[in-house]
Structure 1
Amino acid sequence: MPIRKPVVADPVLAALLAELRLLHVTAGEPTVRDVALRCGGRISRDTVHRVLAADRAPRWHNLELVVRALGGDAHRFHELWVAARAADPR
């Protein structure tokens, strides 16, 4: 099942999600199951899918695990995540 890519109006959140999708593609587009296995069983496949198909900033712990499982720089994503959370009116 392909991962849904929602359209996001907020440019700050859109930048975070675009970086996450680029990281996913760069990592070879592993399946949700593969990413969950790379997380060492610390988060479920459903949670991985919610992070990868997000339309708002996910919880940092979940995002960090997915980013690390995909071989990304968690510090870079933390900066993007903080900016997205600050811009989120919810």
Structure 2
Amino acid sequence: ELTTITVHFNREEPDLMDRDSVRKMVQNYINKDNLSNPEFARQAKINDRTVRRLLNSEESISDSALKKLAAACVQPKFAVVGFNSGKVYFRGEHHADCTR
């Protein structure tokens, strides 16, 4: 019997996020996926004004907002694992990959 589980690799976030590294991460993610700032804000479930503040100004942003922005740039990994054996049958970027 197989079951699908979500495995989060490298999801540990430092207690204090470095604003500049988060800004670079967000900018790279937006460029790579050809997203507008509002589209990224929707994906990150955060106010698009916060995204604009991060990218375009020096206004302060809370640590929790920085963590949310950084987390939106990290792709979760999915795996199909044998329930009893623990054997990994498949790994993928998308949940739908597991149904193939």
TM-score range, shorter chain: 0.3 to 0.5
* Higher helix proportion (structure 1 or 2): 1
Q: TM-score by structure 1 length?
A: 0.45
Q: TM-score by structure 2 length?
A: 0.42
